[in-house]
Amino acid sequence: MATLQVTDLHVSVADEEAKTTKEILKGVNLTMNTGETHAIMGPNGTGKSTLSETIMGNPKYLVTQGDVTLDGVSLLDKTVDERARAGLFLAMQYPAEIKGITNSEFMRAAVNATRPEDDPISVRAFLKELDKNLSILNMSDDMAERYLNEGFSGGEKKRNEILQLMTIKPKFAILDEIDSGLDIDALQVVSKGVNEMKSPDFGVLMITHYQRLLNYIHPDQVHVMMGGRIVKTGDDSLAQELEKTGYAGLRDEFGLDVDLVDEDVPAGNGGR
């Protein structure tokens, strides 16, 4: 069992217009283990994507207090690549397009990056795993030979992120609004891929606005973020309650003024 822990995390970003910094996260605490599925919900601009990008190591975000650890080892001084090699994976809202590198080349390189240099995965073993995952996600074989996300529809990009996830097999996957823009058929396929990964050696942190994703990927814990903090945690019934009542009651309960909730800075492309 591996453990990902966020402790008293405060994060700021540069405000270029004001020539100062702006605090987005204001003391986030979160602990999750492999074998668990966690969901983070909350209104727009409350820091959800900032949290995912900070865990993955996007240099746009400045950690001013607190820590992010994997099995007790701080990740703050590690690069995006080092965090990926340690077992983290970020599925982004807007995956990058990379011309000249095929999906299969990218994924095989990513798999080998997590293995000892003298023990790369064989071509035969890699292709066998890739073919199995393509079948699970109802993706055609030619997807493997297309350039990474180039010319892909929004739904194809999301499926491709899950294909990478299934092939790389990280310890923890952070899924940042993978349901955004998906129709019901694509959502079911993407959810099928994530559920296929369930095991004691794999944990999921989902960031979403909507209950509908949680109808397909059932969380063990649901966390509500508001004002740059996690203000409430519960089981999946909490998400169902929020779907009915919204966030107004929580704002009143915790004394949060919606006009004072910090906005997320648009996150650039994260990493694997």
pLDDT one-digit tens code per residue, 55-98: 999 999 999 999 999 999 999 999 999 999 999 999 876 777 88
Q: Is 161 exposed, middle or buried (0-12, 13-18, 19+ CB in 10 A)?
A: buried
pLDDT tens by residue, 170-188: 999 999 988 887 888 889 9
Retrieve residue 118's tokens.
């003298």
What's the alpha-carbon Rg for the chain, to the nearest Å?
18
Mean pLDDT of the region 194-223: 93
Residue in 208, 127, 193 with CA at minimum distance from that of residue 159: 193
Which two structure tokens, joined as six digits, stand for 249? 């009651």
> Rounded to an integer, what distance in angstroms lies between the CA atom of residue 25 and that of residue 11?
5
Tokens representing 116? 């000892």
pLDDT in tens, 123-136: 999 999 999 999 99
Helix (H, G, I), strand (E, B) or coil at 71: coil
Q: Write the CB contacts of 167 (distance below 8 Å, at least 6 apart in sequence).
A: 107, 110, 111, 129, 130, 133
H or E stretch covering 57: none
How many Å apart are CA 55 and CA 46, to the nearest integer?
16
Q: Which domains does the chain have, with CATH numbers?
A: 3-260 (3.40.50.300)
Residue 206 CB contacts under 8 Å (≥ 6 apart), including other chains? 37, 38, 39, 40, 175, 178, 213, 214, 217, 219
pLDDT digits (tens, 9 = 90+) for 9-37: 999 998 777 678 899 999 999 999 999 99
* Pairing of β 172-176 and β 88-91: parallel
Q: State the Cα–Cα distance between residues 164 and 166, nearest whole angstrom.
A: 6
Half-sphere exposure of residue 50: CA atoms within 13 angstroms, side-chain side: 32
For the chain, the average pLDDT equals: 88
| pLDDT band with cut points at 50, 70 and 90 for residue 257 | low
Q: Which two tokens stand for residue 76?
A: 């703050």
pLDDT of res. 256: 65
CB 190 within 8 A of CB 173: no
* pTM score: 0.87
Q: Please say if the pLDDT value at position 118 is more than 70.
A: yes
Q: Which two tokens stand for residue 24?
A: 């987005």
In this predicted structure, which of 62-71, 94-103, 109-118, 229-238 has the lowest mean pLDDT?
94-103
From CA 185, how far away is CA 182, in angstroms rounded? 8
